[in-house]
Amino acid sequence: MIQLKKIIKTYENKGQSIEALKELSFDFKKGEITGIIGYSGAGKSTLLRCINLLETPSSGEIIIDGIILNKLESKDLRETRKKIGMIFQHFNLMRSRNVFKNIAYPLKGSGLSKKEIEERVDELLDLVGLKDKKYSYPSQLSGGQKQRVGIARALANRPNLILCDEATSALDPETTVSILKLLKKINRELGVTIVLITHQMEVIKEICDSVIVMEEGIIKEAGDVINIFSRPKEPITKRF
């Protein structure tokens, strides 16, 4: 279970305070796929980055499985973060490392032997359908293949939670469908909770169990996807 309790995030800019998140509270259900949708500037990315403490909330609590993340010491936070995978819009692969080394990178310092790391990477390559690309470099891969490597890397430490930052917005429609099917498979087979942000209604409809609609740092509506979009109450939800 992931709980957000009265999350506020304020930035200081040229002597002015900008409130990016305005006292947000929400409970994400374990094992579900939750989408966060909104236009640019709604606070989606800020919220996602607060969940894994890449951004520290100005106030409020991020609670995962009963642990208040933003009250942990640095060492404990690093350990907890290992169980939170992150998938990025622009893949964030290391160009000088091949697919195997990109996926294996999060396992540095894990205590696993070289053989165990190789077995883990091979298992992940099989899962994402890239067994034949083990020694290829990012420059030799298509956009969809790069994102599959990013997904495998996010799964390296067997996380309980995956955060997706516009994971399909840089992909063509056909590739987007294949990546969404892969995320759905991971959710179903591994039981991983997934939180994704998007501005694409099709992504929400295709993959999500529940949805948060954001505008100007506020949750305007939240709940079951079918209920929210079959009976929208807020103007922004009706536009989507």
In a domain, 27, yes or no: no
Structural domain contains residue 228: no
Q: Which two tokens stand for residue 29?
A: 């259900």
pLDDT at 50: 94
- Amino acid 35: pLDDT: 96
The Cα–Cα gap between 64 and 110 comes to 22
pLDDT at residue 51, rounded to an integer: 94
Residue 182, phi-psi category: left (phi > 0), alpha (psi -120 to 50), beta (remainder): alpha
* 65 within domain boundaries: no
pLDDT digits (tens, 9 = 90+) for 91-146: 899 999 999 999 999 998 788 999 999 999 999 999 999 999 999 999 999 999 99
b/e per residue, 17-51, with b = 16+ CB within 10 A? eeebbeebebebeeeebbbbbbeeebbbbbbbbbb
Q: Which domain holds residue 102?
A: 92-158
Q: Return the DSSP state at 139.
A: G
State the Cα–Cα distance between residues 224 and 208, nearest whole angstrom.
9
Whether residue 200 contacts residue 168, with contact meaning beta carbons closer than 8 Å, is answered with yes
Q: How many domains does the chain have?
A: 1
Quote helix, strand, coil % in the chain, to nearest 5: 40, 30, 30
108 belongs to a structural domain: yes
60 domain residue, yes or no: no
The answer to whether residue 106 sits within a structural domain is: yes
Residue 144: count of CB within 10 angstroms of its CB: 20
Does the pTM exceed 0.95?
Answer: no
In this predicted model, what pLDDT tens digit does every residue of 220-240 receive, in sequence order? 999 999 999 889 999 999 888
The tens digit of pLDDT for each residue in 14-23 reads 888 889 999 9
Residue 7 lies in a domain: no
CA distance 25 to 22: 9
The C-alpha atoms of residue 166 and residue 170 are separated, in whole angstroms, by 8
Residue 119 lies in a domain: yes
